[in-house]
Amino acid sequence: MPTWKKMKKIEVKLHRSLVAPLLDYLRELAANSKGGGFPPQVKENQNLDPEMVEMWEQELRNLGGDDRKQFFQLFDGRFIESGTIHLDEQQASAVLRATAWFRLQIREKDLGEVPEEILEQGDLSLKGMSENEQKGYSAFVFLAALQELILEHLEPR
């Protein structure tokens, strides 16, 4: 007889006033996207197999719309009321793909001049940045933190 494992659920409390402008930025980014693939920095990376990059890029395009829809559904009426997002293991993969897609698009659109190492450290000063760069960087860091949180909770212990 099979044993049923209880599905992990993730609940994250966020500050609505901080997240709302980031969601506006991300909605605009999704609406203005051409389907989006990898930014040139990824495509031109000599260490990656071009066929593999093409396959990943096609998957991003095929799944992207649904993934982004599931991502935005996290910020539904329950989030508006409580400031809490809820997701389970079934949603996690789509949300992780959506956050990866958004980060790639932000990198290409607003943060193309920032070295990857500095972006990943999350230690960039907002001073001297344009408004779009500030929004992009803030969204980039928010998405990275969300990705880390999801992965941390879904990894087997």
Q: Is residue 47 part of a domain?
A: yes
Q: Is residue 2 part of a domain?
A: no
Beta-bridge partners for 85: 12
Number of domains present in the structure of the chain:
1
In this structure, is the dihedral angle defined by the CA atoms of residues 142, 143, 149 and 150, taken in order, positive or negative? positive
pLDDT digits (tens, 9 = 90+) for 116-126: 777 777 777 77
Structural domain containing residue 49: 9-154
pLDDT digits (tens, 9 = 90+) for 80-138: 889 889 888 888 888 998 999 899 889 888 888 888 777 777 777 778 888 888 899 99
Q: Is residue 1 part of a domain?
A: no
Mean of per-residue pLDDT scores for the chain = 80
- What are 25's two structure tokens? 């930025």
* 129 within 8 A of 57, measured Cβ to Cβ: no
Alpha-carbon gap, residue 113 to 103, rounded angstroms:
14
Q: Is residue 76 part of a domain?
A: yes
Q: Is residue 3 part of a domain?
A: no
